[in-house]
Structure 1
Amino acid sequence: MTAPLTIGMISSYGGLTQRDWLWSQTPHPCGRWGKIQILAPAQNPDYLLLYNFHDFPTEPTPIPLGQRWRRSVRAQRQAQVERNAQVRDRLAQLPKERIISLVREPPFPEKERDRRTAYAQAQHYCGYVSGPDDWAPTPEPMPAIWYYNRGFRELDSLGPPEKTERCCWITSGINRTQCHRDRLAFLKLLRDTETPFDLYGRGLPAWAQGRGELVNKANALGPYYYNLAIENYADNDWYVSEKLWDALLGWCLPIYHGGSAADRLLPPGSFLRLPSLDAAGAAYLREVTSTLDAWHEAQEAIAEARQIILHQLNLVHWLSEFVNA
């Protein structure tokens, strides 16, 4: 049996160092798909994925004259020098055409300068650089990952789980950008108008009446017919995130607020469009969730969408296709 081609990974997400990252998104054991195997910390991989990585080597920060005596400042500068060396060594292991940069954060207008800088830096080291915005060298929707933690084969064969609850929303209390603040304002409106839904997530304000943070989204999405899925960013033709994939993998009918990418990627009828983050949107949510009619009508479209997510949009499948090409 031919050994698979390994794909290592570095990321600016601090928690993504596990060897089995993404293994639950493949139909075969140990992260294999076709002739590849994803091994995030592999030291001598055949390919390297830069997954939302922006910590490229830069000139060490100069130490101000008045602080050169401070041990902590010198230590910080030395740590930066060492990080730069480690990144350079990792990127120098492979030819440029075998290094892939995929950016997955929302393209907030407030972050445009940093985003453009990171893309320019990535092009020095990577043969393929993409992101979900028009600033990217290759603009395209992000390949799908999900946090509905069930094995690939189980998800592939899973029919609708037992549904007992009406509608949920999984979000956070982050308010760093205007898009975040608009979403929180809509949440406040829903609570003020007593729109019925169950709320989960981290960092939510007390008035939001949240039910707490989730370890596994499957535990909340599985029992619900409808899921309110509001993207962090909804104003371009590329950005779509796991908020949509998670809901569909749980056989929820998403009530979605996001950009147009979802319409190109998924079949008609597999999700509903929330018209706006205002009183009209709240009224629409109440109307749809007042009955189960929309969920029942969407079953065939949801089933088709789930297969597209698992077999076509899947990040590991995307990597396999990249290597084959």
Structure 2
Amino acid sequence: MTIATVGMISSYRGLESRGDWLWQQTPNPFGVWGNIQMQTLAAKPDFLVTYQFDFPQASPQISWLDRFRKRQQKPVVNVESLLRGVNKERIIYLLREPPLDEIVEINNRNYQQAQKYCGYVSGPDDFAPNPDYMPAIWYHSNSFQDLNEMPCPEKVSPCSWITSGINRTANHRQRLDFLQSLQSSDIKFDLYGRNLPEWAEKSGELGNKWYGMAPYYYNLAIENYADNNWYVSEKLWDSLLAWCLPIYYGGPAADKLLPPGSFLRLPSLDEKGIAYIKEVTATPDAWYAAKDAIAEARQIILHKLNLLNWLSNFVAQHS
């Protein structure tokens, strides 16, 4: 079988320079999955993924005064030079960010630009040329083989939440408000994350999300966006792969991708939601009832929803 190399460019900071991107999502060495090999930095890949890539805006006109003052201008990015000679029909654009009000204009501009260079353009919203769920990636450092074959770890604590202090959109601020209300309640849960507010009672940051999920029966998986039929993120995948029963706040996409009973629905980010969390996390009964469904969901995430599997199927159809 011929192995096709798949390169990648991204606007996510630090991601594009990672030669081992997605290698932890396969049991095979060096990013091989079926008929593909992920080689982010390949000089001449057979296929190219533009992964949450922000296409540069047209360079603004520079006034004579700016030239006189020699103000530093951002260099104009030559998109063609980034595409490494890959034919348009073999270039894939995958947008990951949800259509939040604050960035939907940027998302739409990226879709428009992507269609000039990419044969397939997709994202988790109705505005995308090909609306679709995001193929799964996850943020555990464990190997694929470990995640695939390990027994359920020992559960010793009721509930955790891994989140950040990002507050740049109304949805982020709503989540932080809910966090503050939850910590003001008498619900026992452990909080982990980066850049959290000073008032947050946190247990620190994590180098591997596994350690903030695996010992817990329940995990709060609260999306930044819950208002369409497409968006579901790694917050849910990470929780399930750590054998947690997610208490999930998000849109209906998860119901179409995962087996019934593999996660719980948080009804709202308010007092009703707090009451629900309190009731569920008071005992591990719901987790025990869901254990078989969690096991099934984990296999779906690892094998079927896996971004590498998605790319392998795409390559098979376009080779």
Report the TM range for the smaller structure's normalisation.
over 0.9
Q: Look up the match of 2:22.
A: 22
Rounded Cα–Cα distance in structure 2 between residues aligned with 1:189 and 1:302: 29
The letter for the 1-side match of 2:300 is I
Rounded Cα–Cα distance in structure 2 between residues aligned with 1:203 and 1:306: 30
Find out whether 1:178 has 2:177 as its counterpart: no
Structure 1 counterpart SS, 2:225: coil
**Among 177, 180, 183, which residue is 1:191 paired with?**
183
Structure 2 counterpart SS, 1:227: strand
Q: Look up the match of 1:48.
A: 48
Rounded Cα–Cα distance in structure 2 between residues aligned with 1:294 and 1:256: 14
Residues 149-298 of structure 1: pairs in structure 2 closer than 5 A:
149-298=141-290
Q: How many residues align?
A: 316
Q: Which runs of 5+ in 2 are unaligned?
A: none
Rounded Cα–Cα distance in structure 2 between residues aligned with 1:47 and 1:72: 38
Are the aligned partners of 2:43 and 2:84 in contact in 1 as well (CA < 8 Å)?
Answer: no
**Root mean square deviation of aligned Cα:** 1.2
TM-score w.r.t. the length of structure 2 is 0.96
TM-score w.r.t. the length of structure 1 is 0.95
Rounded Cα–Cα distance in structure 1 between residues aligned with 2:58 and 2:10: 20
Q: Which runs of 5+ in 1 are unaligned?
A: none
Structure 2 counterpart SS, 1:109: coil
Deviation at 1:222, TM superposition (A): 1.0
Q: Look up the match of 1:36.
A: 36
Rounded Cα–Cα distance in structure 2 between residues aligned with 1:70 and 1:241: 46
Find out whether 1:13 has 2:33 as its counterpart: no
Deviation at 1:66, TM superposition (A): 2.0
Q: Look up the match of 2:118.
A: 126
The letter for the 1-side match of 2:13 is G
Q: Look up the match of 2:86.
A: 94
Rounded Cα–Cα distance in structure 2 between residues aligned with 1:96 and 1:268: 39
Q: Look up the match of 1:67.
A: 66
Rounded Cα–Cα distance in structure 1 between residues aligned with 2:134 and 2:225: 13
Are the aligned partners of 2:55 and 2:114 in contact in 1 as well (CA < 8 Å)?
Answer: no
Structure 1 counterpart SS, 2:272: helix
Deviations along 1:63-110, whole A, 9 cap, x unmatched?
12322123342xx25x22xx22xx312326011110000000121022
Structure 2 counterpart SS, 1:69: helix
The letter for the 2-side match of 1:51 is Y
Structure 1 counterpart SS, 2:128: coil
Structure 2 counterpart SS, 1:6: strand
Q: Look up the match of 2:136.
A: 144
Rounded Cα–Cα distance in structure 1 between residues aligned with 2:22 and 2:100: 26
Rounded Cα–Cα distance in structure 1 between residues aligned with 2:254 and 2:50: 24
**Among 289, 299, 308, which residue is 1:316 paired with?**
308
Compare the two structures and name the one with the higher helix fraction.
1
Deviation at 1:219, TM superposition (A): 1.2
Are the aligned partners of 2:153 and 2:215 in contact in 1 as well (CA < 8 Å)?
Answer: yes
Structure 2 counterpart SS, 1:159: coil
Rounded Cα–Cα distance in structure 2 between residues aligned with 1:293 and 1:195: 17
Identity level (%) = 59
Rounded Cα–Cα distance in structure 2 between residues aligned with 1:36 and 1:184: 41
Farther off after superposition, 188-197 or 149-158: 188-197
Deviation at 1:3, TM superposition (A): 5.2
Deviations along 1:158-215, whole A, 9 cap, x unmatched?
1111111110000011111111111011111111223211000011112111112211
